[in-house]
Amino acid sequence: MADGRRSIFRLSGRIGSEHLVELKAEIEGMGAGTVLDLEHVTLVDVEGVRLLSDCEFRGIELVHCSPYIREWIARERNL
């Protein structure tokens, strides 16, 4: 989905290691101006958190990110 200025990629359900190959393929080449909407994400494993952290590092904005995921991303960055 695009809102004219940026591309919005909505995720839902789980982001786990079993989904990462497909998810990485979908977001490959995305960069600044891309938004990952995590409003409907219910569960994330450590590999999913690392992917989300990498996305942010590359300039992809995370919106509607639950506090537990946001906290986990921050902890992973401090390791």
- The model's pLDDT over 21-46, given as tens digits with 9 standing for 90+, comes to 998 888 887 777 899 999 999 999 99
3-state secondary structure of 9: strand
Residue 42: inside a domain, yes or no? yes
Q: Is the pLDDT reported for residue 69 higher than 90?
A: yes
Question: Phi and psi dihedrals of 48, rounded to 5?
Answer: -65, -40
CB atoms within 10 A of CB 15: 23
CATH number of the domain that residue 25 is part of: 3.30.750.24
Residue 2: inside a domain, yes or no? no
Q: What is the number of structural domains in the chain? A: 1
Question: Phi and psi dihedrals of 60, rounded to 5?
Answer: -85, 125
Residue 1: inside a domain, yes or no? no
Residue 39: inside a domain, yes or no? yes
d(CA 64, CA 69): 10
The predicted structure's pLDDT at residue 15: 94
Residue 61: inside a domain, yes or no? yes
Domain that holds residue 69: 7-77
Q: Is the pLDDT reported for residue 79 higher than 80?
A: no
Would you place residue 4 in the very low, low, confident or very high pLDDT band (cuts 50, 70, 90)? low
d(CA 56, CA 73): 10
